[in-house]
Amino acid sequence: MKLEKYLKEKRSIGETNAEEIGRVCKKYIDMIRGSDYILGRYSFKESSSLKSNKIITTRKDRKPLDTPVDIHNMADDILKEKFGWRPRSESVFCIPKKPDTFINDAKAIFPIGNFKFIWSPTIKDFFISIYRHHRHIFGISSVSIEDKEKLMKELLSDFTDKNFKDALLSDNEIMIKCDKYYSVRADLLPYINRILKINWPLKNIFTYIKKLYGTELEGEN
């Protein structure tokens, strides 16, 4: 009886959240229809229940974890000149993932309302592809600022704010500018899929849910 009550409550929460996401994230939902990939990121601080699906306010003053601040600011200045905003400081950093792979600590990201994005067809990760691979220039004080800026402009030259579905297929880092976004656990994706009629294949998600809760949930498969 307790399990039935719990599952009923869980379905109610899931359906309510899915309907709300369909309403406030309509632009994003429309852009991912027909794509095999959606935005994701990893978060290790959230709980394992549906109630952990939450709205997060995007930081506008993000500080780099590994990239030196001067290199971070240099990239931001160059990208702002091209796109009108500072992607390294004002973005949610996402990776493209298939919906069926969102298990454990992976969260699906649903930008709320209007949002902007940039990505590169050649840069998978800024720190690895740009700073680490060119540390012999960016990490040396004897190299002039002018030479560092010249190289940075070359490396960032193919960043674009076009072709979102191509960005999802790229397997490269995507920077999202939005005021707020939903951070969504795997066990909400079947509700989003069913209620918004998106038609994702979610076999692995159903297996994950059954393992997590010990039972299949009515209407999810």
Question: Domain boundaries in the chain?
Answer: 37-187
Compute the average pLDDT of residues 10-38.
91
Nearest Cα to Cα of residue 14 among 162, 218, 167: 218
Render pLDDT for 169-189 as a digit per residue (tens, 0 to 9).
999 999 999 999 999 988 889
Long-range contacts of 25-28 (CB under 8 A, 24+ apart): 25/110, 25/111, 25/112, 25/113, 25/182, 27/111, 27/113, 27/114, 27/115, 28/110, 28/111, 28/115
Task: Among 22-36, 43-57, 112-126, 171-185, name the one with the lowest average pLDDT.
Answer: 43-57
Measured CA to CA, the distance from residue 218 to residue 136 in angstroms comes to 57
Render pLDDT for 206-220 as a digit per residue (tens, 0 to 9).
887 777 666 665 444
pLDDT at 152: 94
For the chain, report the end-to-end CA distance as a whole number of angstroms: 22
* Percent of the chain residues past pLDDT 90, beyond the cut: 61
pLDDT at 221: 45
Angle between helices 145-155 and 69-83 in degrees, nearest 10: 50
pTM of the model: 0.87
Task: Among 10-14, 78-82, 114-118, name the one with the lowest average pLDDT.
Answer: 10-14
Compute the average pLDDT of residues 1-22.
73
pLDDT at 136: 85
Q: What is the mean pLDDT of the chain?
A: 87
Compute the average pLDDT of residues 17-43.
94
Residue 53 has pLDDT above 60, yes or no: yes
Measured CA to CA, the distance from residue 7 to residue 147 in angstroms comes to 61
